[in-house]
Chain A
Amino acid sequence: MNKLLKYEFRATLRLYLPLYLVMLGFAVLGRFSLWGVPWQVTVGEDLVGWTNLSVSVTGEGIGSEILAFLLSMVLVGNVLVLLGALVVHFVITLQRFWKNLMGDEGYLMFTLPVSTGELLWSKALCAFFWGIATSLMVLLSVLILAWHPLLVQGVKQELSTIPPEDWQLILRMLQNVLPPVAWPILAVEFVANNIGSLFLLYSAMAIGHTVKNHKVLASVGAYAVLTMIVGTVASTIISLVLPLMAGVPQDIQLNSLSELILFSYQMGRFMTGVWAVALVIDLLCAVGAFFLARYLLTTQLNLE
């Protein structure tokens, strides 16, 4: 298993490294074209009383308009690059399975002395890791783009206007909405959801591969059917357990502070129930999809 992970990681690193370099390159380029020109960040107040950050180009004349247009293009370009990175991640995930297991390389992979389950896990864990890494890279790119002393100063200034008592209140409400009980549930749910959807994708591709012609189309169709099944299972479970769950807070008057805190507490209880149900559904789907994929790749496998 470790060896499989090692080779899967090595094979994918070669694809992700250049992707991340491109992302960082564009972010840095974007940052300098955004902030390298005479910008001005003004801090004003809007109608509701919240401090408002607005950015405008100083200077006058046609030149500045063209500049503004170019800069907006830079921004749009960067957004496209970030979206593109997510798409590339998705495509790599599909390709690694399709080419490495369902294609000619499958002749090697499926004759290694490892179980089909191990093959599936190595693919899924690696894709999961790169999913997180890619998301972090998107976040990092946005931070790089936005990083400017004036902006940071503005945010700091904004935060400093909140009095310490309010901070305490915010923290307390956060804790109510997301009690410690919910943390592990959320964490496991996150993993189960991600890995589960990977297994679902793998199952769909394995089904598609058993079809003689139009394998890709069949895979897409299989995926649609599988998600429908998952949806049906999920809604059935929800309708079954809904009566048992802590009710949605109703008739709440948010007039006083104590009522607000009560509301956050009830909301937290309700949401924890929701997370727990989601966890059960996701775990079921993940386990189901895993066994389906393993069954298909063991008994229905027919490499060309």
Chain B
Amino acid sequence: MERSEARREGPVLECRQLSKIYGAVRALDQVDLAVQRGRIVGLLGPNGSGKTTLIKTAAGLLTPSAGEMLVCGRQPGAATKGLVSYLPERTYLSDWMRVEDILCLFRDFYSDFDLQKAEEMLFRLDIHRMDRLRTMSKGTREKVQLILVMSRRAELYLLDEPIGGVDPAAREFILGTIIGNYSEDAAVVISTHLIRDVEQVLDDVIFLAYGHVGLSAPVEELREEKGKSIDELFREMYRC
């Protein structure tokens, strides 16, 4: 009931005058933005521009200092966490766990988790139920985590630097997995500083700089208007 209601109403993610302050540092400064359903949005900006802070706030890991963050019209909390599928930069899976333990955990806690889908994707990577996380390389663990996150039929996918520091083959796998699996009326937010690598998958871009939104527009529009690739635009914007 709640879900279908949420599905119809307004933006999936909305910030109103959102600020987050750590001591003297303004990580986010009066940010206004909205992310609509069915869009793949690139959250772009150099390191330290507030991308991770914004995503963590939407995931419910940080509380705004001022302003509002709304996920499906609600403030982040236990309820919105069930609608958001979040991939952090860190690997959060415990060493001692088996693949099976994590699958069970996701199935138990997230009602939108598609166990069969996850199993199929893992199988294709030759990862088995009884494998332990300890025996896996960092890259493999990241793939397992991505598969878990993308096997949910969430309303909002928050992917923090999913392609940071991976080789081209892994990048293709990651982007393919994201595109092949997100639910159609959901929104996908991908944060990255490697614009060139994700440009082709994005509907919209949001440029963040020093906690402000520098630019927010559909990719096609930008390319036509400025006659440049987003990557070139990005370089121009952050030249100094």
Contact = CB atoms under 8 A, between A and B. Distances in A.
Given A105-B94, A107-B90, A301-B63, 15 more contacts: A7-B105, A11-B94, A107-B86, A107-B92, A108-B92, A110-B60, A111-B59, A111-B81, A113-B110, A114-B81, A115-B77, A298-B63, A299-B63, A300-B63, A301-B62
A110 B88 CA distance: 12
B135 interface: no
Contact of A104 (B62, B91, B108, B110): B91
Give the size category of B's interface with A: 20 to 34
A115 B91 CA distance: 22
B170 interface: no
Interface in B71-94: 77-79, 81-82, 84, 86, 88, 90-94
B96 interface: yes
B22 interface: yes
B88 A107 contact: yes
A115 B92 CA distance: 19
A302 interface: yes
B217 interface: no
B93 A108 contact: yes
Given A302-B22, A302-B62, A113 B94 contact: no
Given A299-B63, A301-B62, A106 B92 contact: yes
A110 B92 CA distance: 11
B61 interface: yes
B109 interface: yes
B60 A111 contact: yes
Contact of A107 (B22, B61, B109): B61
A300 B81 CA distance: 18
A156 interface: no
A9 B91 CA distance: 22
Given A104-B91, A114-B78, A3 B108 contact: yes
A212 B84 CA distance: 29
Contact of B92 (A3, A10, A105, A113): A105
A107 B77 CA distance: 14
Contacts of A303: 56, 61
11 contacts: A6-B108, A7-B105, A7-B108, A104-B90, A110-B60, A113-B78, A113-B109, A118-B78, A300-B63, A303-B56, A303-B61
Contacts of A3: 108-109
Interface string B91-118: 1111010000100010011100000000
Interface of B: 22, 56, 59-63, 77-79, 81-82, 84, 86, 88, 90-94, 96, 101, 105, 108-110
Contacts of B63: 298-301
B92 A301 contact: no
A91 to B, nearest CB: 17
Interface in A115-135: 115, 118
A114 B92 CA distance: 17
Contacts of B22: 302
Interface in A286-304: 298-303
Contacts of A298: 63
Interface in A169-223: none
A79 B77 CA distance: 48
A83 to B, nearest CB: 26
A289 B94 CA distance: 28
Nearest to B23: A212
A112 B108 CA distance: 10
A52 B135 CA distance: 59
Interface in A1-49: 3, 6-7, 10-11, 14
Name the residue among A10, A113, A301 with the largest chain B CB count within 10 angstroms.
A113
Contacts of B108: 3, 6-7
B61 A114 contact: no
Which of B62, B77, B92, B96: most chain A Cβ within 10 A?
A: B92
A194 to B, nearest CB: 26
B18 to A, nearest CB: 15
B96 to A, nearest CB: 7
A269 B94 CA distance: 52
A27 to B, nearest CB: 27
A108 B82 CA distance: 12
Contacts of A6: 108
A115 B78 contact: yes
B61 A110 contact: yes
A303 B57 CA distance: 12
Looking at B88, B101, B110, the one whose CB has the most chain A CB atoms below 10 A away is B88
A114 B82 CA distance: 9
Contacts of B101: 10
